[in-house]
Amino acid sequence: MTDIQQQVQQAIDRLVESGAERGLQVAVYRNGEQIVDAVAGIADPATGRPVTSETPFFSYSIGKGVAATVVHVLAERGVLDYDTRIVELWPEFGAHGKESATVRHALSQSVGVPGLPTGLTVEDLCDWEKMCAIIADSEPWWEPGTKIGYHAVTWGYIVGEIIRRASRKPISQALREEVASPLGVADELFFAVPASEQGRMAQLEDASGSEEMFGELPPDSPILKLGPDLTAEHANRADVRSANILAGGTVTARAVARMYAALLGEVDGVRLTSPERLREVSTVAMSGTDEIFGFPTSWGLGYSIGQFMSNAHETQHVFGVGGLGASHAYADTKTRTTFALTKNRLAPSFDTAEQVAGIVAKAVADG
């Protein structure tokens, strides 16, 4: 066992033993080689089934990074271009002044349709055609490309429909054929999870205090207009697991760390994009004050830039996406390291991910 593997294993074992976490996976790649594959705890408290490296976790917005990667592989093959107007692929999207919106705007959280009508349910989120029709017919909150705001739920339908129309494949098939199968992780990277695979998944649970993630919100807060809450209980349901909800994704830590590693360079002979495209997608495409949350934010093409570390302005070489509940995955172009942490206890802060990532960063720097 390497020192870094041992340090990470000890850290996550302590987190489980203390009761802070129920079950976790951590995976790290460096220069295309896996250097950490650590698991701890229980995947399903009802049965006592342990977490293994193969246990898929519904990991919320980590799936945005996976969906973005599918777009980049399609762009690499010339199937689409970032400056393609969305209406060229999806004509209905142009309603109410959205004709100028591009794939680039969609990926960079600047397309201008972060909100959804009140009254939608989790069942509605499972209805792809209904959600796409609602979003296509929505009025933009701002002119596409002029402001930035986190599209927590709508992002997945917009980018997913771009993938579906450009590739002319079902979304799950596009993920499997363009990204997962070439990397040998077709049974560990999912949007909709086949019924036959759902028994392998970790059961999620809401941590105490998770309901206070945003505190008391005024009734006109834009956060309340992002769409229905998707709780741990919802995410454990078969209908939700079977749906394409690309704002989230079901992954193993080792699969998503491998995916990011194949963006940085070759992994067992597979590279997903060219070095030139890597530079483009991992560079700030849009930044400013987030129209939803009110804090400064920077996004590349489908990935948050420098957001994971507290000194975000000094970590522009880090790109990735964290998920509600505090799973996280990212790549570091400076150290050629990728990191993924999945967990089944949905916490209101990224403390666990930051703690474990700090151990990894120090070990990589010392090494």
pLDDT at res. 100: 97
Per the listing, tokens 């990926």 go with 107
- Residue 267 in 3-state DSSP? strand
Going from the C-alpha of 141 to that of each of 120, 160, 162, 291, the distances in angstroms are 19, 21, 20, 9
pLDDT at res. 213: 52
Q: What is the DSSP letter of 207?
A: P
Kindly state the tokens that stand for 331.
């790549």
d(CA 178, CA 225): 33
Phi-psi region of 252 (alpha: psi -120 to 50; beta: other; left: phi over 0): beta
Kindly state the tokens that stand for 189.
């990277």
d(CA 150, CA 215): 18
> What does the buried/exposed string (b/e) look like for 152-174 if buried means 16 or more CB atoms within 10 Å of the residue's CB?
bbbbbbbbbbbbbbbbebebbeb
pLDDT at res. 1: 59
Domains identified in the chain and CATH numbers: 3-209+221-366 (3.40.710.10)
pLDDT at res. 311: 54
Going from the C-alpha of 163 to that of each of 112, 174, 246, the distances in angstroms are 19, 8, 11
Q: What is the pLDDT of residues 123-160, one digit of tens each?
A: 999 999 999 999 999 999 999 999 999 999 999 999 99
- pLDDT tens digits for the chain (367 residues)? 579 999 999 999 999 999 999 999 999 999 999 999 999 999 999 999 999 999 999 999 999 999 999 999 999 999 999 999 999 999 999 999 999 999 999 999 999 999 999 999 999 999 999 999 999 999 999 999 999 999 999 999 999 999 999 999 999 999 999 999 999 999 999 999 999 999 999 999 998 765 555 556 777 788 788 888 889 999 999 999 999 998 889 999 999 999 999 999 999 999 999 999 999 999 999 999 999 999 999 999 999 998 654 555 567 899 999 988 899 999 999 999 999 999 999 988 889 898 999 999 888 888 7
d(CA 263, CA 273): 6
Q: What is the pLDDT of residues 211-250, one digit of tens each?
A: 555 556 777 788 788 888 889 999 999 999 999 998 889 9
Kindly state the tokens that stand for 249.
């994704």
Rounded (10°) CA dihedral 276, 282, 285, 291: 170
d(CA 274, CA 288): 28
E-only strand ranges, 2-95: 23-30, 33-44, 49-50, 57-58
pLDDT at res. 344: 96
Neighbours of 357 (CB within 10 A): 24
- Residue 184 in 3-state DSSP? coil
d(CA 21, CA 161): 35
